[in-house]
Amino acid sequence: MDRFHRIADAFAQVQKQACLLLETIDGAAFFSNDAWQKEIGTGITRVIAHGSKIEKGAINFSKVSGPVTPSMEATTGISEGTFSATGVSSIFHPKNPLAPIIHMNIRYFELSNGKAWFGGGIDLTPHYIDLDEVRNFHQELKRVCDTFDASWYPDFKQQADNYFFIQHRNESRGVGGIFYDHLMADERSWEKLFDFSVDLGTLYPELYAGILIKKGNLPYSPGQLLWQKHRRSRYVEFNLMYDRGTQFGLQSNGNVESILVSMPPDAQWSYNYSPEPGSEEEKTMNFLKKGINWLEI
Amino acid sequence: MDRFHRIADAFAQVQKQACLLLETIDGAAFFSNDAWQKEIGTGITRVIAHGSKIEKGAINFSKVSGPVTPSMEATTGISEGTFSATGVSSIFHPKNPLAPIIHMNIRYFELSNGKAWFGGGIDLTPHYIDLDEVRNFHQELKRVCDTFDASWYPDFKQQADNYFFIQHRNESRGVGGIFYDHLMADERSWEKLFDFSVDLGTLYPELYAGILIKKGNLPYSPGQLLWQKHRRSRYVEFNLMYDRGTQFGLQSNGNVESILVSMPPDAQWSYNYSPEPGSEEEKTMNFLKKGINWLEI
């Protein structure tokens, strides 16, 4: 089997396993299973909603290929030839405001001129900061990165800080995680990058399962629910204004419903809404900054 | 008094009158009155929320001036000198899903090289189409346009169709209205364009007052409320992804809360959410297209 089909199969497996695990943890709702087929390729959109712990979540897999178009030239560096791309992207919005939003993407790109690269990342967006949870999250990401290359975690953590940032509000989307792109794969490094991507895809649902088990059934107040809806509006702003995957998808006439499944189930905007001084909400806001060393906090 | 201060005073008056009228019509909530002063100029942000008929609305006035910056070169056509700008922008989200969202902007721009121009528009976004209401809305806009120039309504109506369009969903934001920009003002036309802007600013609250009186207290169902929240999410998508005023404001480090006061109070996104065949919701969707002659429908 060629490399592209090998990685696409592994990514499809990542999707399947993640759905199985998180469906089991939720215990009430089930993932839909919408397979789609277009001229450009195939994919499976899987969405879960109104669960006991998950309010809305999605894990999408796609495998596409075709001629390089002019709009891809900036990304690919070539103006002719063909490309193949495959990836898994996922997001979960919990019902409980005390649990965080989580997001993951792993992707692979291959050109007919032989160039190939990997990209991806995992990041966490708490509505309420929980330092133990954030420390553990970053430790786990570091642990997986370190298996491959000790320079990756600090590098990819910094890239996540820069990427998951809401410029117009001068606030981070959440507590970051890791983000990487254009990790070029040559004969020597391909297997390593492949293993890294799959390991992240495996770690992702386990991390979130652990969080949902711990937080999914905690009691919460109407005020906390209101705060969650306002934090969700910041997530909307990031996804529609800065997220490259969303913008690329919408500009290239992708499936709107599959792309915007990343939107939260709902969101609220109130004029001059800000937390009470000294509150847990204010404490959370104070942590939405770049450059925090979460491992030693 | 010079022209710039004359128009700024008239725009401030437009804001004041609109607030008075719509506050009276709502009868329960009141507009806040946040005057701001920055190096670049002054403004008043006025917001109303949780009213009997208005769920969230805003009317903002601003008057700014300063040196032309590099980022303005594309808009102004000059790389040095100074500019002055003043405008009123407004949006209302009704509580009742049977009433529409309305939006208005009137603005004036003047450069130190003597060039000056006007821009603006009014448009309507019904959650549920009401052909009589839409016909009357367009008739009123045409009536005001025709007072000045018979070519304006058809021209500006077409510009609104093109501007208020959600590209990635291939659907219009609402039923349009009028939109115009860079109406160059010379010695001869300045007074006419000034009067036109002020007339639109006067018509706007009257149009919406009429609608709220008729629709504000109609009974509605939970299902209609749910539909409203989904239509509001399309409004969010338009404002964050396509609205030039929002993008210009955020890029130029404007006041985030004043700019994003245009966001609806809340919004919902559901995967593959679509109206029942034959329903009022589906009927509305079928009208979200460019090029409809609302005067003769």
A228, A271, A272, A274: which to substitute to probe chain B, counting the most B Cβ within 10 Å? A271
Confidence label for A248 from pLDDT (cuts 50, 70 and 90): confident
Confidence label for A157 from pLDDT (cuts 50, 70 and 90): very high
Sign of CA dihedral A258, A261, A263, A267: positive
| Spatial distance between the Cα atoms of A139 and A151, rounded to a whole number of angstroms | 14
In the predicted model, what is the mean pLDDT of residues A293-297? 94
Give the active site residue among A5, A50, A93, A103: A103
Structure-token match 């609806």, residue found: B264
CB of B261 within 8 Å of any CB in chain A? yes
Contact A231, A282 (CB under 8 A): no
Per DSSP, the three-state class of B99 is coil
| Residue A13 CA: distances (Å) to CA of A8, A16, A62, A173, B62 | 9, 5, 12, 29, 56
| Residue A206 CA: distances (Å) to CA of A31, A111, A137, B71, B240 | 17, 33, 11, 46, 34
Question: Using the beta-carbon criterion (under 8 Å), do B263 and A233 form an inter-chain contact?
Answer: yes
B240 vs A167, A241, A270: nearest CB:
A241
| Spatial distance between the Cα atoms of A133 and A186, rounded to a whole number of angstroms | 36
Residue A41 has pLDDT above 80, yes or no: yes
In the predicted model, what is the mean pLDDT of residues A239-265? 89
Q: How many Å is the Cα radius of gyration of chain B? A: 19
A47 vs B233, B250, B271: nearest CB:
B271
Question: Using the beta-carbon criterion (under 8 Å), do B264 and A265 form an inter-chain contact?
Answer: no
Contact A160, A123 (CB under 8 A): yes
Nearest residue on chain A to B50, judged by CA atoms? A270
Contact A3, A116 (CB under 8 A): yes
CB of A49 within 8 Å of any CB in chain B? yes
- Residues 55-94 of chain A with CB under 8 A from chain B are 56, 58
DSSP designation for A240: H
Query: Chains A and B: how many Cβ contacts under 8 Å?
Result: 67
Nearest residue on chain B to A50, judged by CA atoms? B270
Query: Percentage of chain B surpassing pLDDT 70?
Result: 100
Which residues of chain B lie closer than 8 angstroms to A169, CB-CB? 256
Please report the beta strands in chain B, taking only residues with DSSP state E, as ranges in sequence order. 34-38, 41-49, 54-67, 82-94, 101-111, 116-125, 165-166, 171-172, 177-184, 266-268
CB of B240 within 8 Å of any CB in chain A? yes
Beta strand A41-49 with B34-38: parallel, antiparallel or unpaired? Answer: unpaired
Q: What is the pLDDT of residue B249?
A: 82
Which residues of chain A lie closer than 8 angstroms to B55, CB-CB? none
Residue B176: which domain range? 3-296
Closest-CA distance of chain B to residue A267, Å: 5
Which residues of chain B lie closer than 8 angstroms to A268, CB-CB? 265-266
Residue A76 has pLDDT above 90, yes or no: no
Q: What is the pLDDT of residue A276?
A: 95
| Residue B145 CA: distances (Å) to CA of A268, B4, B43, B107, B203 | 37, 23, 28, 16, 11
Question: Using the beta-carbon criterion (under 8 Å), do B268 and A269 form an inter-chain contact?
Answer: no
Closest-CA distance of chain B to residue A270, Å: 6
Closest-CA distance of chain A to residue B57, Å: 10
Contact B216, B53 (CB under 8 A): yes
Chain-centre distance for alpha carbon B29: 21
Amino acid identity of A147?
T
CB of B270 within 8 Å of any CB in chain A? yes
Number of domains in chain A: 1
pLDDT in tens, B16-75: 999 999 999 999 999 999 999 988 899 999 999 999 999 999 999 999 999 987 777 777
Q: Is the ipTM of this complex over 0.85?
A: yes
Q: What is the pLDDT of residue B51?
A: 98
Question: Using the beta-carbon criterion (under 8 Å), do B229 and A266 form an inter-chain contact?
Answer: yes
pLDDT in tens, A45-55: 999 999 999 99
Nearest residue on chain A to B226, judged by CA atoms? A266
Sign of CA dihedral A144, A149, A151, A152: negative
Q: What is the DSSP string of B23-75?
A: HHHH-S-----EEEEETTEEEEEEEEES-SSEEEEEEEEEEEEEEPPGGGHHH
CB atoms near residue B82 (< 10 Å): 13
Q: What is the DSSP string of A38-97?
A: ETTEEEEEEEEES-SSEEEEEEEEEEEEEEPPGGGHHHHS-SSSEEEEEEEEEEEEESST
Question: Using the beta-carbon criterion (under 8 Å), do B267 and A236 form an inter-chain contact?
Answer: yes
Question: Using the beta-carbon criterion (under 8 Å), do A269 and B272 form an inter-chain contact?
Answer: no
| Predicted confidence pLDDT, tens digits, chain B (297 residues) | 799 999 999 999 999 999 999 999 999 999 999 999 988 899 999 999 999 999 999 999 999 999 987 777 777 777 789 999 999 999 999 999 999 999 999 999 999 999 999 999 999 999 999 999 999 999 999 999 999 999 999 999 999 999 999 999 999 999 999 999 999 998 889 999 999 999 999 999 999 999 999 999 999 999 999 999 999 999 999 999 999 989 888 877 778 999 999 999 999 999 999 999 999 999 999 999 999 999 998
Span of A11-20, A33-42, A195-204, B118-127 with lowest mean pLDDT: A33-42
Structure-token match 């899987």, residue found: A46
Amino acid identity of A181?
D
Confidence label for A260 from pLDDT (cuts 50, 70 and 90): very high
CB of A32 within 8 Å of any CB in chain B? yes
CB of A250 within 8 Å of any CB in chain B? yes
Q: What is the pLDDT of residue A109?
A: 94
Contact A172, A290 (CB under 8 A): yes
Encoded tokens for A249? 């998808």
Encoded tokens for B179? 């939109």
Question: Using the beta-carbon criterion (under 8 Å), do A267 and B266 form an inter-chain contact?
Answer: yes
Encoded tokens for B46? 């006025």
Residue A158 has pLDDT above 80, yes or no: yes
Report the CATH number that the domain containing residue A172 is assigned in CATH.
3.40.1500.10
Which residues of chain A lie closer than 8 angstroms to B168, CB-CB? 250, 256
| Spatial distance between the Cα atoms of A46 and A58, rounded to a whole number of angstroms | 6
Residue A166 has pLDDT above 80, yes or no: yes
